[in-house]
Amino acid sequence: MAVQYHFTTTEEERARRRADRSAARRQRRRLRRRAMLLRTLPPLLLVLLAAGGLLVLLAGNGGDAPLPEPPPMEHVPPAGEPAPAAAPPPAFSARTTPETAALGEEFSSGCAVLIDVESGTVLAEKNAFQAVSPASMTKILTLLVAVEALEGLEGTASVTQAITDYCFENQCSTAGFLAGEKVGLEDLLYGTILPSGADAALALAEYVSGSEEAFVERMNEKAEELGLAARFAGCVGLYHPETRCSVYDMAVILQAALENPTCRKVLSARTWLVPAAGEREALELSNWFIRRIEDHMPAGFEIQGAKTGFVTEAGNCAASCAQGPDGRTYLCVTAQGAGIWPCIFDHVALYQSVAGTGAED
């Protein structure tokens, strides 16, 4: 017999929370537009001033060719002043080439990309740069942002009643933590990825930033740092019209996460056991995508990490990474799939195309 879930808040309170979240999103949009305007004005003024100066020079020279520009002055810091920090290395990116395979209608997922990490080339693609709803693949970025913000994994975070209400109201997948429970940070990391737990992701977001809204700001800053135009409206992966992310964007995010040792450990885990606590029994968390695809991979290929997702607007989607028998690393992301098994076999088919064995029957 199913247990009837009872909200601890009134309908009016839940409506107020939804209105507050909408107001917060509108405020963030206004702030982003204002920040963009402030960033745009100074360069525009410089261009106008430079154009005015050029006209003055041309008038002074009677229309002759403009004077040559002086060489830029090299800034030498005074004694005792530290030298400016070197620019950070560019984020990982991949390029299409004339050899990039264009996947057609015979490939079931609506969007797909296969990338050779070592060469930085796109080996195959289908609508790879088209914006889609990334669903719970979003939690890869949630994991990365949380891990980079945490100073250690020794602490605990609270799973509030508001979090469990939110998960039930939106029919989110959960790890199984109870309202009022204090959960270890490491357990929350695994709970976010393996069972795609919205309860774990929200608890991490509130622990790191105080609210999901503030945490999402960090996510979008990280996406910008990675050189992506992707933007997210939540840390869980629920459909939202303001969320935009292509399968290529998600491949870059997955690569960034795999470069972090803690994230790589979580993304590659098959299972994780959370000990019993209070009224809650022990939770055995499992990454079913990895456990299902392993039996179908081409010989010599090993899955290095994976995360799935599903919302009605996006269909089934998944991001995975595999190492081939030659030691090369490949990123594979698909979206708009017709089911979990078609999604799995689309990944298998792409890895097999690298192996040269052809798609599986």
Percent of the chain predicted with pLDDT > 90: 69
What does DSSP say about strands 111-116 and 329-337: parallel, antiparallel, or unpaired?
antiparallel
- What would the mean pLDDT of 168-191 be, rounded to a whole number? 96
For residue 77, pLDDT beyond 70: no
Mind giving me the DSSP string for 10-30? Answer: -HHHHHHHHHHHHHHHHHHHH
The three-state secondary structure class of 200 is helix
Q: What is the largest CA-CA distance in the chain?
A: 93
Q: Which two tokens stand for residue 232?
A: 């997210």
pLDDT of residue 355: 75
CB 143 within 8 A of CB 200: no
Report the CATH superfamily, name and number, of domain 101-355: DD-peptidase/beta-lactamase superfamily (3.40.710.10)
pLDDT of residue 79: 56
- What would the mean pLDDT of 282-306 be, rounded to a whole number? 95
Average pLDDT, the chain: 85
- What would the mean pLDDT of 221-248 be, rounded to a whole number? 96
Least confident of 195-204, 286-295, 348-357: 348-357
- Which amino acid makes up residue 290? I
The three-state secondary structure class of 335 is strand
Rounded CA-CA distance 344/271 in Å is 19
For residue 82, pLDDT beyond 90: no
Higher pLDDT, 147 or 32: 147
Supply the pTM of this predicted model: 0.76
- Which amino acid makes up residue 259? E
106 confidence band (pLDDT: 50, 70, 90): confident
By C-alpha distance, which of 90, 73, 205 is closest to 139?
A: 205
pLDDT of residue 350: 96
What does DSSP say about strands 121-126 and 101-102: parallel, antiparallel, or unpaired?
parallel
Q: How far is CA 175 from CA 32, 167, 191, 205, 264, in A?
A: 34, 11, 5, 15, 19
Q: Which residues pair with 271 in a beta bridge?
A: 286
CB 126 within 8 A of CB 112: yes
For residue 166, pLDDT beyond 70: yes
Rounded CA-CA distance 286/195 in Å is 6
For residue 61, pLDDT beyond 80: no
175 confidence band (pLDDT: 50, 70, 90): very high
Higher pLDDT, 84 or 333: 333
For residue 83, pLDDT beyond 60: no
Burial of 49 (0-12, 13-18, 19+ CB in 10 A): exposed
Strand residue runs (E) in 108-264: 111-116, 121-126, 156-159, 181-184
pLDDT of residue 127: 97
- What would the mean pLDDT of 30-57 be, rounded to a whole number? 61
For residue 108, pLDDT beyond 50: yes
Give the distance from CA 157 to its chain's centroid. Answer: 22
For residue 1, pLDDT beyond 50: no
- What would the mean pLDDT of 185-213 be, rounded to a whole number? 97
Could you state, in order of their start, the residue ranges of all structural domains in the chain?
A: 101-355
- What would the mean pLDDT of 21-26 be, rounded to a whole number? 64
For residue 288, pLDDT beyond 60: yes
pLDDT of residue 203: 98
72 confidence band (pLDDT: 50, 70, 90): very low
For residue 89, pLDDT beyond 70: no
CB atoms within 10 A of CB 315: 23
pLDDT of residue 3: 41
The three-state secondary structure class of 182 is strand
pLDDT of residue 354: 85
Cite the DSSP H helix spans in the chain. 11-60, 138-149, 161-169, 185-193, 198-209, 212-225, 247-258, 261-268, 288-293, 340-355
Alpha carbon distance, N-terminus to C-terminus of the chain: 41
DSSP 3-state percent helix, strand, coil across the chain (nearest 5): 45, 20, 40
Rounded CA-CA distance 327/55 in Å is 59
CB 125 within 8 A of CB 194: no
pLDDT of residue 237: 96
pLDDT of residue 91: 72
Q: Which two tokens stand for residue 43?
A: 């360069």
CB 21 within 8 A of CB 210: no
Q: Which two tokens stand for residue 131?
A: 């914006």
